[in-house]
Structure 1
Amino acid sequence: MYESYYGFTERPFQLTHNSNWFFASRLHKKALAYLQYGLTQGEGFIVITGDVGTGKTTLASQLLSMLNQDEIVARQIVTSKLQPDDLIRMIASSFNLKVEENNKASYLDAIYIFLKRLHSQHRRALLLVDEAQNLPLESIEELRMLSNFQIDGKPLLQSFLLGQNELNPIIQAPNMEQFRQRIIASSNLVPLIEVETKEYIQFRLHMAGLNHPLLEDDCFSLVQTFSRGIPRRINLLMDRVLLLGYLEQHKTISAEHVQSVINEISEEIAHQAPASPQNIKSESEAPAATSPSPAALGSASVQQLLDESLEQKLKLIKELDELILQRQQQAK
């Protein structure tokens, strides 16, 4: 909707990953270097953890875009609370393997035959396990057992685990010692600091085709405070800010504009917040209805409501864009 107004070639803060738009902060560079190092080793596990929205999946997608597919056959799976047998089936399915009997032994046999065939072709398999914090201990242990598929002492399958911070205590459990011994590198992604948030915003704007300053300098501290330096939240907020700029015809975005959007979102969050049971009173006791402030909400609730609210609005904007485009085409 606002792309032509600002002269963008595409929306600068869309949530879908574009490998050409990878912003390498200091920690993202480090994590990507660990992933690449793991590939050169051809064995062991690499573990990347971080809060929601800090870029773990983006890292995985970036790595996949850099691979030589003549040497490495890579697959990425997103896990739920899969039990070991279900995980084995998902891995077999991700490599498009077919089995004659629907049992664990048949799936393991199919995986082993496939890995041996790759080895004979001087290729190897790579498995990226996203949202790995959802896996129970037994399933993570199953991944370790798969790393025992070897020929001449060389592993046939290498796995990278990406997960939220909850993955760390799972791996540190006493009965995970054998798995920990096979981790050759690990990294934890944290939110961007303010200078990186500014660089991130300017980078995305430049990649979208903007060649002149759009945001005034005092905007960035507001974005940092509200987003807490989490890239996904920056994207959601900035997309909304650019929409406001387009609707109100601002060629330059000021701190006042950013604050206006933040206020709107905060009000939306407050109105969407569920009432706490202990605060519910009978009509005779209840004072005049007021909306709870964002500060009164738990941080998890605030983040969830923020993401859901903005994502719903971005979906609506996209639908409006498509409708406008259809009508323009019909007019021609």
Structure 2
Amino acid sequence: MKDLLAWFGLKRFPFDKNIKSAKVMDTEPLKECLARLEYIKRRGGILLLTGDPGVGKTLALRKYAQGLNQNLFKTLYTPLSTLSRSDLLYHLNRMLGLPPRLSKSAIYTQIQQTLLESRDQLGKTLMIIIDEAHLLQTGPLEELRLLTNFKMDSYDPFILVLVGQSDLRRIMEFAVMEPFNQRIAIRYHMPGLDPKESRHYVVHHLKLAGAQETILDDAALNAVHELSFGIPRKIGAITEQALTYAMFDQKHTVSAEMVLKVKNLDG
């Protein structure tokens, strides 16, 4: 089988998920997301981050977390959101490295005490990130709301970031979620890239991978945007599929026609 990297003179796959976050293109949606994260860092409380699959939510979180002062902040991340009310508390307890307790009330008190002491006594604010939060049921969400109630609801000693697909915004509109909804300090729905940024995104990643010449012409870049709706993960998948078509067609450049051959790509 032909080697895609050798055919196009690349050093690595251009859209590899292991790319260092510092080298990722600073798109407008990414910069807007980082600005919201900076705000919640200074304020404390709850941030609701939503967006379609593949738009770059987790990447933004990883980029931001890596830039935090580790002496002042500690990040705890989990994508495990399909838990019951009690299981969520036990899971958070383990994430914090706390000893097990028999009762739910003991777990709740221990978690709150740890969050408070970390900020007030150790000078380190904990940032808890729950990914795939659109899968959380209303019960576990209620437990999270209760955990944010400190000093008779007058203090935010930690940061809670809920990250999920667009469905999470609709969940928050339910009447039963109104108390939680009112506690959200800031929210951001991350959009896809516009046509110009989509083109720059492809070119940027190809150059990072070692491309010396133009591989996709302007029409091909436009086609990538149209098929991907500007969603970075789709942009990468479609582009790599188009590169594969070009290689087997003995071409060193990708045309719009080749891009359109992957129009039924799922992702």
The answer, yes or no, to whether TM exceeds 0.5 is: yes
Instruction: Establish whether residue 224 from structure 1 lines up as the match of residue 221 from structure 2.
Output: no
Structure (1 or 2) with the greater helix fraction: 1
Q: Secondary structure at the match of 2:218?
A: coil
Q: Deviations over 1:203-262 (max 9, x none)?
A: 111222224322111102221222222111111111222233334442222223323x42
Q: Deviations over 1:101-142 (max 9, x none)?
A: 343223223323432442311111111111111111221121
Residue matched to 1:198: 199
8 Å CA contact retained: 1:88, 1:107: yes
Q: In 1, distance between residues paired with 2:151 and 2:63?
A: 28
8 Å CA contact retained: 1:146, 1:157: no
Residue matched to 2:114: 114
Q: How does 1:177-326 map to 2 (within 5 A)?
A: 177-259=178-260, 261-262=261-262, 266=264, 306-307=266-267
- Shift in Å, 1:59: 1.6
Q: Which range moved further: 101-110 or 75-84?
A: 101-110
8 Å CA contact retained: 2:81, 2:130: no
Q: Deviations over 1:8-32 (max 9, x none)?
A: 2321112345312323322221122
Q: Which residue identity lines up with residue 176 of structure 2 in the other structure?
A: N
Q: In 1, distance between residues paired with 2:94 and 2:14?
A: 35
8 Å CA contact retained: 1:149, 1:157: no
Q: In 1, distance between residues paired with 2:236 and 2:111?
A: 39
Q: Secondary structure at the match of 2:252?
A: coil
- Shift in Å, 1:70: 1.0
Q: Which residue identity lines up with residue 26 of structure 1 in the other structure?
A: E
Instruction: Establish whether residue 48 from structure 1 lines up as the match of residue 49 from structure 2.
Output: yes
Q: Which range moved further: 193-202 or 17-26?
A: 17-26
Residue matched to 1:20: 22
- Runs of 4 or more consecutive aligned structure 1 residues displaced over 4 Å after TM superposition: 150-153
Q: In 1, distance between residues paired with 2:245 and 2:223?
A: 16
Q: Secondary structure at the match of 2:262?
A: helix
Q: In 2, distance between residues paired with 1:166 and 1:17?
A: 28
8 Å CA contact retained: 1:17, 1:58: no
Using CA pairs below 8 Å that are at least 6 residues apart, which structure has the higher relative contact order?
2
Same amino acid, percent of matched pairs: 28
8 Å CA contact retained: 2:128, 2:161: yes
Residue matched to 1:6: 8
Q: In 1, distance between residues paired with 2:134 and 2:169?
A: 8
Q: 1:102 to 1:9 in 2, by over 3 A?
A: farther
Residue matched to 2:69: 68
Q: Secondary structure at the match of 1:96?
A: coil
Residue matched to 2:36: 34
Q: In 1, distance between residues paired with 2:145 and 2:210?
A: 45
In our comparison, the structure showing a higher alpha carbon Rg is 1
Report the aligned-residue RMSD.
Answer: 2.3
Q: Which range moved further: 150-159 or 59-68?
A: 150-159
Q: In 1, distance between residues paired with 2:173 and 2:255?
A: 47
8 Å CA contact retained: 1:130, 1:161: yes
Q: Secondary structure at the match of 1:262?
A: coil
- Shift in Å, 1:160: 0.9
Q: In 2, distance between residues paired with 1:19 and 1:150?
A: 38
Residue matched to 1:136: 137
Q: 1:219 to 1:13 in 2, by over 3 A?
A: same
Q: In 2, distance between residues paired with 1:49 and 1:140?
A: 16
Q: Deviations over 1:169-210 (max 9, x none)?
A: 211222333322222211112222222210110111122222
Q: In 2, distance between residues paired with 1:214 and 1:142?
A: 51
Q: In 1, distance between residues paired with 2:249 and 2:200?
A: 26
TM-score (norm 2): 0.89
Residue matched to 1:94: 95
Q: Which residue identity lines up with residue 156 of structure 1 in the other structure?
A: P
TM-score (norm 1): 0.73
Q: 1:146 to 1:152 in 2, by over 3 A?
A: closer
